[in-house]
Amino acid sequence: MIIEDAWNDERIKKIVEGLLQRSETGEAEWQIFSGQTSVRRAGTGKPDGFSYSTDSATVVVGSSDGDGASPYYLNIIDSAGVLVENISVPSPVRSVRMPDGTLQRQERSPEETQFVRLLRELYKRARRKALKTDDVLDALAQELGS
Amino acid sequence: MSVNDAVTLAAAYTAIPFALIGFGITIRQASKAKTAAEAARDAAKMTQSALARNSLLVLIPQLQRVEEELERAVQTDSADLIITWLSNWRWQAGQVRGLLSKSSSENRKILKSLQSSIAISAKAKSDIIDGTVEELAISTKAVRDAIAEVTNELGALAALQGIAIGESTNDN
């Protein structure tokens, strides 16, 4: 699904906003789905992914290049493990080929930009939870502070 | 009053208790039938529940075996065997999920873990088939962790179910 269709699909919006909310409250238990399991593999060009599962579906959010930056993606997997929806979320700025052959950078529409921002936020929260970043920082701060 | 009238009157009055008796018999029969139907329904539910429990007790060790075989396949660095056991996991985990009721909160946690393991195993298998993985041990870590979480939770469930079966057997 392209970003324009995703943003116009109320269900996708509800899913993303619901996940953001659950990530903030800690209700969403994110796990490493693929890719980044060590520093060595970070930014290797291969996608990373962090997943949240309900009883019957799994949502995966990740960075397509594995570097933590856009483009991001959002996948939805059904109860049989089948990928039923894939949403690619490009960067907020796109390059457009002009008639003279040059590339011009264009801002996306406000709706697309908003969706990109939501996905970026969701990715950051999912990654933080899955890698238990806050626990590590707390322990380290306590150790170094004593 | 003529004899005829007297007989008619007597018949009318004596019919009332018989009608009441007949009515009472009908009510009692209907009540017994309802109770019997409810009893039959309850028995069917208990049988279904016992069957599901027994099926779970058979499937859970099979899932544990899949976990062991997958670990062995990773240790021997066999992509073919890993693919086979990941497929096996998806199928068996799906069966277990069908047997778990969504009503209990403990089952909800296991259902989520099962779903997660099914999704991750599908991804891991796809990556291996596509040839996009370099090290099988690293690329299967996430799915092995997810599977371990499921087998741990199911092991605890099996212990409880086994105790419950033992208790119901003793009651009988």
User: pLDDT digits over B58-67, tens only?
Assistant: 888 999 999 9
Taking the Cβ of residue B127 and every Cβ of chain A, the question of whether any pair is shorter than 8 Å is answered with: yes
B172 has pLDDT over 50: no
Asked if A53's CB is within 8 angstroms of B115's CB, the reply is yes
For A37, nearest residue in chain B (alpha carbons): B138
User: pLDDT digits over B109-136, tens only?
Assistant: 899 999 999 999 999 999 899 887 778 9
Pick the residue with more confidence: B25 or A11? A11
ipTM, 2 dp: 0.76
Which pLDDT score is estimated for B103? 61
- Name the minimum distance, in Å, from the CA of A115 to any CA of chain B: 25
Q: Which residues of B touch A58 (CB under 8 A)?
A: 115-116, 118-120
Which pLDDT score is estimated for A140? 94
The CB density around residue B153, as the number of other CB atoms within 10 Å, is 18
Helix (H, G, I), strand (E, B) or coil at B102: coil
Taking the Cβ of residue B142 and every Cβ of chain A, the question of whether any pair is shorter than 8 Å is answered with: yes
Asked if A32's CB is within 8 angstroms of B142's CB, the reply is yes
Which pLDDT score is estimated for B44? 75
Pick the residue with more confidence: A133 or B20? A133
As a whole number of angstroms, the distance between CA B164 and CA B49 comes to 12
As a whole number of angstroms, the distance between CA B44 and CA B25 comes to 28
B19 pLDDT band, cuts 50/70/90, is confident
Which pLDDT score is estimated for B53? 77
User: pLDDT digits over B61-114, tens only?
Assistant: 999 999 999 999 999 999 999 999 999 999 999 999 888 876 677 788 899 999
Instruction: Indicate if the alpha-carbon torsion angle B70, B73, B77, B81 is positive or negative.
Output: negative
**Residues of chain A scoring pLDDT < 50:** 36-41
Task: Indicate the average pLDDT of chain B.
Answer: 82
As a whole number of angstroms, the distance between CA A22 and CA A2 comes to 25
Q: Which two tokens stand for residue B94?
A: 């799906």
Question: CA torsion angle for A62, A8, A28, B60 (degrees, to 10)?
Answer: -80
- Name the minimum distance, in Å, from the CA of B41 to any CA of chain A: 28
At A104, give phi and psi (nearest 5°): -120, 135
Taking the Cβ of residue B128 and every Cβ of chain A, the question of whether any pair is shorter than 8 Å is answered with: no
Q: Which residues of B touch A56 (CB under 8 A)?
A: 111, 115
Place of tokens 């998806």: B90
